[in-house]
Amino acid sequence: MAEAILFGVAQKMIESLGSQLFQEIGSLWGVEDELQNIKSVVSRIQAVLQDAAEQQNHNHQVRDWLEKLKDVVYDADDLLGEVFTVASRRRARSGNKIKKERMKYLC
């Protein structure tokens, strides 16, 4: 069950990393390669989660690993959420500045 939730969180992370905002973040902050690497790692984690789901009932190590992975995935998701929030605010502020500049010019 936990692996299904983790799979969903991982999928959300992949979608976020592919969003236009994260593409802009990568370009502006010069971290395009790092964001692509994170996306690739999360995708591999999803594949391992599918295998682990089948094995966890028979293997206590897999169950323990899934619990530890859950914490890591949630922390990573929180971090991406914070980056998204900061970038969204910056985008909104810069958009407002541009609008104000246009208004000054037009008036």
Q: What is the pLDDT of residues 57-92, one digit of tens each?
A: 777 888 888 888 888 888 988 988 888 888 888 888
Query: Phi then psi for 104, rounded to 5 degrees?
Result: -60, -40
Query: Phi then psi for 56, rounded to 5 degrees?
Result: -65, -30
How many residues are there in the chain?
Answer: 107
Report the predicted TM-score, pTM, of the whole model to 2 decimal places.
Answer: 0.62
Instruction: Locate the domains of the chain by residue range.
Output: 2-106
Between CA 25 and CA 31, with CA 4 as vertex, the angle to 5 degrees is: 15
